Chains A and B, each alone.
Chain A
Amino acid sequence: MNNSTSLVAELPVAGVAAEPATRLPTDWKTNAMQARVRRRYRSERMFRMLGLGAVALSAAFLAFLLLTMVGNGWRGFMRTEIQLPVDFPRSSLILDPAALKGFNAKAALASADIEGTTVEAANAAFGAGGARMLSDGGWLSVRDAIAEDPSILSGKADIWVPASTGIDLAAKADADPASEAAYARLKRAGAVRTSFNLAFLGGADATDPSVVGIWGAFKGSLLTMLVTLVLAFPVGVLSALYLEEYAPRNRWTDLIEVSINNLAAVPSIIFGLLGLAVFLNVMHMPRSAPIVGGLTLALMTMPVIVIAGRNAIKSVPPSIRDAALGIGASRVQVVFHHVLPLALPGILTGTIIGMARALGETAPLLMIGMRAFVATPPGGLTAPSSVLPVQIFLWSDEVSRGFVEKTSAAIIVLLAFLLAMNGVAIYLRNKFEQRW
C-alpha cells in the first residue's frame, strides 16, 4: 500500500453530460398532454369499476349460496308432529308405573312393547293405516313421555308424536295426494303442529328422514378436527421454524422445500389411499374412526401450515432477531420470545385455511371407511363415526325425498361449524397481533 496514494485519483472524473442547449420548456397544456391525462383517469376509473364488479360478483355468489341453503334448509330444522291420543289402561301395554321409579326404569321401559301400543293407538285414532302417518321412530316420543311422567299410564293422554315423512312434506311443501289428504284431515282436527326439531340436533343417522340427526356427524367432525389440529399444528409450526431459523441452506433443504410444496398440491384422495394403506392395512387401526380420519387429514393439512408458517416467519424483520441476539439471547430464546409471537398471526391464518379445507374434505375420508352408516354418535376417537361432509354426501344420495331438506340443513350446520372455527381463529389472531 503506497503511502502517498490519494483517494481522489481513484475517482472517475465527474463528466458533465452534454445538455442540449435548446431544450424548450415542456408545455403541459397541449392536446396530446391533455389526452394523456384523460386516458390515465379513464384507466384508473376502469380499474376501480372492475375491482368493484369482481367484489360484487363474489358477494352475489355468496348471497345466492346462503339464501338457497337457508331457504331449503330451515325446514330441515323443523318437524311436523301429530297429537296422538293414547288410552293406556285399554291398551295391551303391560308396564307397572311403580317399576319406573327405581333404577330399573330403563330396563322396564325397554322390555315393554311401547312400539306396538303406539301403532295400536294410531290405528284406533286415525283409522286403519293410521300408524303409517307416524314416523318410524314415533313411538320413542311415547316412551319419553312415559319416562317423564309415569302417572299418565293410569289414564288417557295426548302425546305429540313426530309425523311420517309424507305428512311432514305435506305440511312443509307438496307431497303425494294421499299424504296431502291425510294432512288436511289432521289439520281440520287440529291434531297437527310444526315445531323445532331438537331431535335433529341431538341424533345420528337413520334410515327414516323424519328421525335422522346431525349430532353424530357433527361430533365425528369435531373429534376428527381435534386430532388434525393437535397433530398438524405443532408439527407444522416446528417444521416451519426449523426450516427457516435453523436449517442450513443446501441441496437437502431445497429438496425438502420442493417436497413440501408438492405435498400441499397433492389431490386429497391420494392422502385417503395413503391412510387406507398405512393406518388401516399396516397399522390395523379401526376403520371409520375419527383418529384415522384425523391422521389422514393432518397429513394433508401439515404442508399448508408449513408453507404459511415459513412465510410468516420470513416476514418477521431481521432487525428484531439482531436486537435479541445483540443483548445475548440464545437462538431458541430469539425464536420463542420474539419470532414466533410475531409470526403467530400469519401462522394462524394459514392454519385457518388448512383446517377449513380439512373440515370440508370428503374424498380421503371415504377411502378410510367413513362412509359407513353409523346410527349412534361416536363415543370416542376409535369409535366408528361419520363426519359432516360425508353425511351430506350420503344424504344427498338418498332416494327418499325427506332427505333433501335434511341435506340442506346439514350443509347449514357444516357452514356454521366452519364459521365458528374461523371465528375462534380470527379472535386468537387478533389477540396475538402486535402493533408496530
Chain B
Amino acid sequence: MNETTLNDLAGRQHAAPDRPKMTARNVNVFYGQNQAIKDVSIEVGMNNVTAFIGPSGCGKSTFLRTLNRMNDTVASARVEGEITLDGDDIYSSGMDVVQLRARVGMVFQKPNPFPKSIYENVAYGPRIHGLASGKAALDQIVEKSLRRAGLWDEVKDRLTDSGTALSGGQQQRLCIARAIAVDPEVILMDEPCSALDPIATAKIEELIHELRGRYAIVIVTHNMQQAARVSQRTAFFHLGNLVEYGDTSEIFTNPREMRTKDYITGRYG
C-alpha cells in the first residue's frame, strides 16, 4: 500500500488511493449555525469504489453532495476548505458548476427518473450538453448507457414507455444509465439501494462492480455488508468527523478506532 501525503486532523496517516481523482482538504460544511462537516480531508481514487459509512445524520450524504456542489441549491449551506477534481478547485470562480456536475454525476437515494420515456430519460443529459450530433449518435449513446447499466435487454422493446412505469430496481438502473450517459469521471451514489429489494440490490451491486473500471465511484450506504462487498476503500463518518479512512478489508477486519469497531460490529448505529 502506498502510504502518502494526507494528514488528517488527528495527525494520523491515512492510506491514499493509487490515483487521487478528487481531493478534499480541511472541508467544513455549515447549515446556518450548525456545522455538519468538521474538517474532513479525504482522497477519492480513480477506478475504485469508495464507501462512506456511518450512522444517520453523521454528515456522509452532506459531504457527498459537496463533491459535485449539489449543496449550492440549499440557501443556508456554506462550504469551507478545498475540494479539487484533477487538481482544479471545484469551488473556485473558474469552475462551471454545470460542467462539474456533468463530470461528477450523481445517483440519488430514491429512484427519480423523469416522468418521460425511458429513451428521453437517458438522452436528456447528452442532449443538453450537446454530446451527440444527430439522432443516430444519440441512439447509440442511449443504447450504450442502458447496456452498461444492465437494463438494455429489459427495456429495448419499450423505450417509449414512461420511465416511471418501471419497477424500483429498474428505475434506479435507469437513473444510473442516465448518469453515465453524459460520460462522467466520478459517480456519486447516495444510498442507491435503500429503497430496493434484495434482488434489485444485488443487481445494482453487480453493476457497481462492472462500472468500477471506468469511473471513480463514491457510494454512501447504511448497509455495512454492502460497503464490504462493493468497495475497496471505506470511510467512517461520525457526527461530522471523518473517523477512519482506509482499505475496506482493513476497516472491516482490523479497525484502528474503537468507534469504528463499535459501529461495524453493530454495537452502535
Contact = CB atoms under 8 A, between A and B. Distances in A.
A pairs with B: yes
A4 B268 CA distance: 15
A325 B108 contact: no
Contact of A328 (B113, B125, B175, B263): B125
A108 B183 CA distance: 80
Interface stretch (B43-51, B67-75, B136-144, B197-205): B67-75
Given A1-B10, A6-B259, A326-B107, 4 more contacts: A4-B258, A319-B108, A328-B128, A333-B128
Interface in B223-269: 238, 241, 257-259, 262-263, 267-269
B128 A8 contact: no
Contact of A7 (B179, B182, B259): B259
Interface string B55-69: 000000000000010
Nearest 5 pairs between A and B by C-beta? A328-B102, A326-B106, A319-B112, A7-B268, A328-B101
Given A5-B259, A7-B263, A436-B115, A323 B175 contact: yes
Interface of B: 9-10, 68, 70, 73, 75, 98-102, 105-108, 110, 112-116, 124-125, 128-129, 162, 164-165, 175, 178-179, 181-182, 238, 241, 257-259, 262-263, 267-269
A248 B124 CA distance: 28
A230 interface: no
Of B107, B124, B269, most A-chain CB atoms within 10 Å = B124
Contacts of A434: 115-116, 162
B249 to A, nearest CB: 21
A23 interface: no
A322 B64 CA distance: 14
Main secondary structure of the interface of A (DSSP, over half): loop
Contact of A6 (B102, B128, B262): B262
Given A330-B98, A435-B164, A7 B267 contact: yes
Contacts of B259: 5-7
B114 A435 contact: no
A131 to B, nearest CB: 70
B129 A435 contact: no
A291 to B, nearest CB: 40
A321 B102 CA distance: 15
23 contacts: A6-B262, A7-B238, A7-B268, A7-B269, A8-B268, A10-B268, A249-B75, A319-B108, A319-B112, A320-B112, A320-B115, A322-B73, A322-B106, A323-B113, A325-B101, A326-B70, A326-B106, A327-B101, A328-B99, A328-B101, A330-B98, A337-B124, A435-B165
A319 B105 CA distance: 15
A327 B141 CA distance: 15
Contacts of B100: 328
Which of A1, A7, A10, A324 neighbours the largest number of chain B CB atoms within 10 Å of its CB? A7
Given A323-B112, A326-B70, A7 B128 contact: no
Contacts of A322: 70, 73, 106, 108, 112
Contact of A325 (B73, B241, B263): B73
Residue of A4, A327, A342, A435 most packed against chain B (CB within 10 A):
A327
Interface string A330-366: 1001000110001000000000000000000000000
A3 B258 contact: yes
A430 to B, nearest CB: 15
Interface of A: 1, 3-8, 10-11, 248-249, 317, 319-330, 333, 337-338, 342, 434-436
Contacts of A325: 70, 73, 101
Contacts of B99: 328
A325 B241 CA distance: 27
Contacts of A435: 115, 162, 164-165
B51 to A, nearest CB: 19
Contact of A321 (B73, B115, B241): B73
Which of B9, B112, B178, B269: most chain A Cβ within 10 A? B112
Contacts of A10: 268
A327 B98 CA distance: 8
A272 B2 CA distance: 79
B110 A326 contact: no
B102 A327 contact: yes
A328 B182 contact: yes
A338 B86 CA distance: 31
Contact of B114 (A5, A330, A338): A338
Contacts of B105: 326-327
Contact of A329 (B10, B98, B107, B108): B98
Contact of B124 (A1, A327, A342): A327
A241 to B, nearest CB: 16
Contacts of B98: 328-330
A329 B75 CA distance: 18
Contacts of A317: 112
